[in-house]
């Protein structure tokens, strides 16, 4: 199997689609973040899904950026780096959630409860160290990166423009979660998931359409100084050293053993 840039880009598109589907699926019937759920199997499954979606989303946006580097320009680079940092911080936070919190649930329940409150957008009663700053930085990079990267994709005019607008609008909407306590905060992730699905699908279709375009036929080679079309050699070499009747005799260099005809003698002279 040959790995090409086209196959890698198509794989990045599929990764973005999978990330969007996981982004939406993990929100369905999501339980409240409290101490009781940390040690359950459901918690491990949901945190594992969040780990997977953060990695897949990072792969997806990397393919979106690299497939149109020149069109994205500096704005696209800035947006990609910021949004990529947001998904990396999301990945780090989920690692803490799936590996650290269950281990501390019995020995340090107060710390775990405070950390869950911070991860849910609330305030901690005690000290959670750098996790509070990390969570804030992750939210800011996710919102700002989605906005800038979505605008860059819209301006590039390569992928679905409506999906680019949706990404640019949906990610900053997370800032409204504290202002709308009556609205389920899980709903704010659905538009972002839809944007990733649409952009990934658009990227996959674009690369697929380009890969099925037939290559242009190679130009016929001809010696320097010869004008006009030259017929390619047809069949095995003919007597006299010329591969076809239309081959110019001046190009033939027959061997001495075959030289017996008048044309051959003239060619040798």
Q: Average pLDDT for consecutive 10-residue bins of the chain (269 residues)?
A: 85 96 91 86 92 96 92 94 96 91 89 85 79 89 96 93 95 80 75 95 84 51 54 50 51 51 49
**Max Cα distance, the chain (Å):** 108
pLDDT at residue 214, as a whole number: 44
Strand blocks (E) in 91-197: none
pLDDT tens-digit map of 195-240? 999 999 999 998 777 665 545 544 444 555 555 555 555 445 544 5
Verify that 196 and 261 share a domain, yes or no: no
Q: Which domain holds residue 56?
A: 5-211
Verify that 204 and 248 share a domain, yes or no: no
The one-character DSSP state at 31 is P
pLDDT at residue 252, as a whole number: 55
Verify that 202 and 247 share a domain, yes or no: no
In a domain, 229, yes or no: no
Verify that 130 and 263 share a domain, yes or no: no
Verify that 266 and 205 share a domain, yes or no: no
End-to-end CA distance of the chain: 55
Tokens at residue 218, please? Answer: 């190679």
pTM of the model: 0.74
In a domain, 79, yes or no: yes
What total of structural domains would you count in the chain? 2
The one-character DSSP state at 27 is T
């Amino acid at each position: 199997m040959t790995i090409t840039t086209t196959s890698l880009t198509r794989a990045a598109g599929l990764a973005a689609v999978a990330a969007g589907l996981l982004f939406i699926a993990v929100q369905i019937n999501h339980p409240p973040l409290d101490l009781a759920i940390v040690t359950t199997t459901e918690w491990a499954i949901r945190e594992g899904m969040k780990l997977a979606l953060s990695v897949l989303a990072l792969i997806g946006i990397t393919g979106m950026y690299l497939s149109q580097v020149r069109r994205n320009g500096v704005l696209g680079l800035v947006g990609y780096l910021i949004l990529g940092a947001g998904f990396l911080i999301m990945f780090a936070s989920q690692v803490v959630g799936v590996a650290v919190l269950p281990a501390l649930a019995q020995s340090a329940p107060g710390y775990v409860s405070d950390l869950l409150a911070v991860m849910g957008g609330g305030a901690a009663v005690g000290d959670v160290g750098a996790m509070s700053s990390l969570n804030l930085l992750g939210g800011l990079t996710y919102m700002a990166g989605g906005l800038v990267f979505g605008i860059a994709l819209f301006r590039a005019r390569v992928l679905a423009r409506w999906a680019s607008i949706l990404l640019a609008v949906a990610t900053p909407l997370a800032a409204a979660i504290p202002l709308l306590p009556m609205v389920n905060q899980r709903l704010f992730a659905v538009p972002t998931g839809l944007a990733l699905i649409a952009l990934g699908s658009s990227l996959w279709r674009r690369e697929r359409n380009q890969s099925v375009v037939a290559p242009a036929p190679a130009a016929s080679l001809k010696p320097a100084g010869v004008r006009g079309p030259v017929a390619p050699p047809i069949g095995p070499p003919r007597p006299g050293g010329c591969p076809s009747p239309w081959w110019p005799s001046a190009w033939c260099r027959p061997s001495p053993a075959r030289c017996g005809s008048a044309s051959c003698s003239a060619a040798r002279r």
